[in-house]
Amino acid sequence: MPGFELFGDAERKELNDVLDSGVLMRYGFDGMRKGHWKAKELEQKLQDSLQVKHAQLVSSGTAAVTIALASAGIGAGDEVIMPNFTFVASFEAIMMLGAVPILVDIDDTLTLDPKAVKESITSKTKAIMPVHMCGSMANLEALQDICKEHDLLLIEDSSQATGATYKGKPLGSIGDLGCLSLDFVKIITAGEGGAVLTNNEAYYRHADHYSDHGHDHVGNDRGAETHPFLGYNFRISELHAAVGLAQLNRLEEFVAIQKKNYTIIREALSQIPEVVFRTVPEGGEESYSFLSFFLPDLDIARKVSAAFKNNGVDACFHYYDNNWHYIREWQHLKDLKTLYPLSQEVKDGLSYLQTKSFEQSDHYIGRNISCLIKLSWTEDEVRNRASKMVEIIKSYL
């Protein structure tokens, strides 16, 4: 990870098909296309590869979450339970619809703690949204049981875990809706882009229309299409879809490389009794895009993280002090710093952040380091990296 490390002839070919036709938009211009429909091809390939009936490409992973929620009717004042360890896009996408993100604790999976989820359900709760961070997953069986008990939607944000599976099923295909990111630093990249996945025909139809100004996409005359409801512009371009198509065809190759590199480093770190690896739920298999582990305490994790950076062990993240991925530094959310007025429902709904503490999550994130697994490393580079990591960690224990 990420896929851009291995750009090659396959990506160039798909891009040149689009440039040769001159049609960069995914809709219309049928006569000019010379038979090339990259977005449609990529959607079909996503359906086949990720075992879902429907895939709708959109402009980003953030857009995918917003569209998934909107497609299921979630909006003003509704509450969506999500983890407090994620990328800021997760709560941004919820708030875009006037809904309220309810952030709850994670456990040693680095994802949603089912117990914390249960304790956060109210009469306003409409959905539970696990975020499969750093290539692995939440306990989806437990979350499915909670959703059934309380008649809630399960929406997977699988932006960081394409290629991972749970009980034999690809992540993103298990909930009522799934969301993928295809941005520049994902295992499968389109440069920019995302996808909504679902087996529900109505949700798919809503996503298809909503992401393109409400167009119904009936017939082959775009100007004659009707608008069953309001929508917005979250379209992907043919250029982005072309890159994503070439990359998705290489998903198994990428996962295999990551697994090999991941395994070498994990086996080396396993020599250290004080290193504990994140829990992967029973029946789950990671995408191997990150190796995440816990050290004995916050102080050691901070020192090891700094030493990694100072000694050339790059792309290892100690998220406790990171302002993109963990709630501790999300002051712009806590203080509701926006360019426009928020609804009173959102203001009231987020007031809990002024007093809420997350000791359990601090316990895990404070001790965690997550290391990106690159596709471009040689085996010698991986082994040298693993040796250096072991040496550094041991020096602080």
Residue 217 sits in the same domain as residue 302: no
Residue 243 sits in the same domain as residue 274: no
pLDDT of residue 331: 96
Kind of pairing between the strands at 153-157 and 125-128: parallel
Among residues 210, 229, 250, the one where a domain terminates is: 250
Residue 182 sits in the same domain as residue 268: no
Query: Whole domain around residue 372: which residue ranges?
Result: 252-395
Contact 137, 109 (CB under 8 A): yes
Among residues 215, 250, 285, the one where a domain terminates is: 250
Helices assigned H by DSSP within the chain: 9-21, 38-50, 61-71, 89-95, 114-120, 140-150, 201-210, 238-248, 251-269, 298-310, 331-334, 344-349, 359-367, 379-395
Among residues 250, 280, 312, the one where a domain terminates is: 250
pLDDT of residue 1: 85
The model carries a pTM of 0.97
Residue 192 sits in the same domain as residue 268: no
Residue 112 sits in the same domain as residue 193: yes
Q: Is 171 helix (H, G, I), strand (E, B) or coil?
A: coil
CATH number at residue 262: 3.90.1150.10
Give the strands of the sheet with 165-166, arranged side by side. 169-170, 165-166, 284-285
pLDDT of residue 271: 97
Q: How far is CA 78 from each of CA 64, 165, 224, 298, rounded to the nearest angstrom?
A: 18, 30, 35, 36
CA gap 88, 102 in Å, rounded: 13
* CA dihedral sign of residues 336, 193, 138, 261: negative
pLDDT of residue 49: 98
As for how many domains the chain has, the answer is 2
CA gap 144, 360 in Å, rounded: 23
Residue 218 sits in the same domain as residue 308: no
pLDDT of residue 37: 98
Is residue 295 classed exposed, middle or buried when 0-12, 13-18 and 19+ CB atoms within 10 A define those classes? Answer: buried
CATH number at residue 169: 3.40.640.10
Which one-letter DSSP state was computed for residue 21?
Answer: H
Contact 294, 397 (CB under 8 A): no
Which one-letter DSSP state was computed for residue 270?
Answer: T
Whether residue 170 has a cis bond before it, omega within 30° of 0? no
Residue 266 sits in the same domain as residue 367: yes
Residue 40 sits in the same domain as residue 108: yes
Residue 236 sits in the same domain as residue 307: no
Residue 242 sits in the same domain as residue 285: no
Residue 242 sits in the same domain as residue 335: no
Residue 297 sits in the same domain as residue 238: no
Segments of the chain scoring below 70 in pLDDT: none
CA gap 76, 94 in Å, rounded: 10
